[in-house]
């Protein structure tokens, strides 16, 4: 266990950040699943920009790697274009 005040504060901050990052990542994963499972073209076109924005924000905050974000967006763009 940490003994310094600054170490204890850092542990508290890291836990809050971890939970926040998990929330952002899970919310984005759920949005990707909803988009992937939707078959209505109008609905997909409406959802697509929001999901791409969420993925970009995760990459910007270093929650996911930028290449993973690019792969996810590419996969979604392919699905949107095939509908």
pLDDT band at 1 (very low <50, low <70, confident <90, very high): confident
Residue 12 in this model has a pLDDT that exceeds 80: yes
Q: Where are the alpha helices (DSSP H) in 38-83?
A: 41-60, 66-82
In a domain, 3, yes or no: no
- The count of domains in the chain is 1
In a domain, 16, yes or no: no
Dist CA 70 CA 19 (whole Å): 24
Rounded (5°) CA angle 27-66-83: 65
Domain range for 67: 32-83
pLDDT band at 37 (very low <50, low <70, confident <90, very high): very high
Dist CA 31 CA 34 (whole Å): 5
CA atoms within 13 A on the CB side of 38: 17
* 83 close to 38: Cβ distance less than 8 angstroms: no
pLDDT band at 5 (very low <50, low <70, confident <90, very high): very high
**pLDDT, tens digit (0-9, with 9 covering 90-100), for 43-66:** 999 999 999 999 999 999 999 999
């Amino acid at each position: 266990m940490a003994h310094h005040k600054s170490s204890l504060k850092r542990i508290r901050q890291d836990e809050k950040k971890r939970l926040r990052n998990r929330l952002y990542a899970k919310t984005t994963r759920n949005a990707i699943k909803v988009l992937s499972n939707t078959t209505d073209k109008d609905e997909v076109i409406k959802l697509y920009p929001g999901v791409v924005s969420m993925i970009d924000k995760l990459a910007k905050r270093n929650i996911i790697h930028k290449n993973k974000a690019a792969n996810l967006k590419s996969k979604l763009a392919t699905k949107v274009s095939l509908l």
